[in-house]
A and B are shown apart, each in its own frame.
Chain A
Amino acid sequence: MKKLIQALVALFVVSFLLIFWVDKLNSSQGYSGGNTITVYNWGGYIDPTLIDQFEEETGLTVIYETFDSNEAAMTKIQQGGTSYDVAVPSEYAIEQMVEDDLLYKIDHSKIPNLKNIDERFLDLSFDPGNQYSIPYFWGTVGIAYNPTLLGDREFNSWNDLWADDLRNQILLVDGAREVMGFGLNSLNYSLNDTNKDHLQEAKEKLEDLQPNIKGIVGDEISMLLANGEAAIGVVWSGVAADIMWENEALEYVVPEEGSNLWFDSMVIPKTAKNIDGAHQFINFMLNAEIAAQNTDWVGYSTPNKAAMELLPEETVTDERFYPSPELTAKLEVYENLGKEMLGYYNELYLQFKMHKK
């Protein structure tokens, strides 16, 4: 009994010493002060030196919190309890959040740098007039492949994935819209198709692909492709950029039938406390030099035209990540299909996953 109580007391003493330490650290960082803004973003999705620069220029302290999926981030924003001032979700999540009335309108007069954004990326279907969101990065879905493992093979069509000699070579990202989307694209249907016969057809076609699929995985896909665990992956262009950063041998292509065009955009959630600071932050990130530096660090495609002029020539002319206007015309943004249709997509996707080779 005495020993148990001693152990318990020791435990609390240690804990409180640690709490004291953290408290000192926090106040030396300025996190506990009043003049802060909270940025809610994906992990590793901003050049950290820019945060310091922003803090210096504005005197605000940035609290940087991270999420690992749009849906989880939405749930947190919906429930409140934390004052996120700026968040960076993907476009379909933004559409949903607008519908659920979770976002403040953005005051364009406070964002003079909005002029830097390429007009191609403004006024899109998920947020007409950019009332609620300002694009941060964008990209596509395509095929990343490793020519050294495959010989001089090329991929131009989604249907190339179904080749008999690619047994057990393909990794897919674990996303219902992505997988069903390329299934639909390979049949020349729209990836926003709501015709149940077409969807069923796409599912059956995908089931035929099963022998070629090695695994359906999450973020670890970049590591698996970079170290040659599989030769082919269906991935987002951002992931492809990360992989090529690690292993230059890899190639990325957006198939000719078309594919998905995605955006991660900055929004101001209704939980915001420092709306002025949020506008300042968004405007700061749109500054040409800042955006160029951030693009260089993150490695994704920037929608910022002024920043592109500052970036190296070979980056912005790389058609894999800045596709030609002809190909861009074939890309589609995910539309909000409604909960019922989304449920149907997921149902088919689940059936596809359970289909044994």
Chain B
Amino acid sequence: MKKKFKLSNLYLVVIFIILYVPIFYLMFYSFNSGGKMYDFEGFTLDWYKELFQDSRLLIIVLNTIIIALLSAGISTVLGISGAIAIWYVRKVYAKNFLLSLNNVLIVSPDVIIGASFLILFTFVGIKLGFTSVLLSHIAFNVPIVVLMVLPKLQEMGASLIDAARDLGASRWDVLSKVVLPYITPGIFAGFFMALTYSLDDFAVTFFVTGNGFTTLSVEIYSLARRGISLNINALSTLLFVFTLLLVVGYYFITKRNARPIGLGARK
């Protein structure tokens, strides 16, 4: 038994190493005085110094975080409503139809989404920039939230709801006291996946942005033609360390204050 336990831990360790190797690779070269992502020549902090003088890049980073947080938050709310809506549909065909509509944005290549949103926004007359980028990110984040929340709803089964109804709970009570607490892990999963989608998106953002508004992905991709400078590595390192501290800190603070609010919080 003991031996088996060790083996399983080894497996997790290997997975974590693989997941983090590219990140450490990027971090390692952010200290390279040679200025490239190979041939480590010597240790330097120049890239970090350069970074702190670049207020344009700071604005871009902040824009990226704002868009990611807001779009993930709003799309989570929308996605929950969508998942519940699909869950309520009784007919199998109607349900599959709705689900297919839901998934259109996941399967459509980014350029198509980007181009069609661009046409939509210019047609409606929305000024390209913060608003258009936020709306698009919300739009392509919703389906992923739905897909994360739906299995939790399905797993819940009807008997729980029936029981609550029998005990005299109102519709709102059922939703807030029974359904939402039950699906909370799915909601957090959806939120974090939406965050991932939003932070990583390049193509859609590129098409719908304008008037000086840029996100980190767009900036990085446009730098690719001339070679990505190591201050982008330095930036990623800082963001990564910051996120890590935030995640670990948040986890232990909430852990100490009674119940966890982590991903899979259960009541």
Contact = CB atoms under 8 A, between A and B. Distances in A.
Contact of B66 (A1, A4, A15): A15
Nearest to B59: A25
A14 B118 CA distance: 29
A226 B70 CA distance: 41
Interface string B121-165: 110000111001000000000000000000000000000000000
A22 B66 contact: yes
Interface in A232-253: 242, 246
Interface string A63-90: 1111110001001100111110000000
Contact of A8 (B59, B73, B226, B265): B73
B230 interface: no
Contacts of A14: 69
A233 to B, nearest CB: 14
B187 interface: yes
A62 B265 CA distance: 48
Given A12-B73, A66-B218, A218 B224 contact: yes
B238 interface: no
Interface string B48-67: 00000001101100110110
Contact of B122 (A22, A29, A38, A79): A79
A223 B219 CA distance: 18
Contacts, number: 124
A67 B222 contact: yes
B77 A1 contact: no
Interface string A1-40: 1011001100110110011011001100101000000100
B110 to A, nearest CB: 11
B136 to A, nearest CB: 13
A76 B59 contact: no
Interface in B193-237: 206-207, 210-212, 214, 218-219, 221-227, 229
Interface of B: 35-39, 55-56, 58-59, 62-63, 65-66, 69-70, 73, 77, 115, 118-119, 121-122, 127-129, 132, 176-177, 180-181, 184, 187, 206-207, 210-212, 214, 218-219, 221-227, 229, 261, 265
A42 to B, nearest CB: 6
B209 to A, nearest CB: 8
A312 interface: no
Closest 6 A/B residue pairs (Cβ) = A82-B210, A43-B222, A66-B222, A44-B226, A81-B128, A219-B224
Nearest to A242: B227
Contacts of B225: 42-45, 68, 219
A137 B207 CA distance: 26
Contact of A4 (B69, B180, B212): B180
Chain A contact-residue range equals 35 or more
Interface of A: 1, 3-4, 7-8, 11-12, 14-15, 18-19, 21-22, 25-26, 29, 31, 38, 42-45, 63-68, 72, 75-76, 79-83, 218-220, 222-223, 226-227, 242, 246
Contact of B226 (A42, A72, A79): A42
A3 B219 contact: no
Contacts of B36: 223, 226-227, 246
Contacts of A219: 224-225, 227
A81 B227 contact: no
B218 A76 contact: no
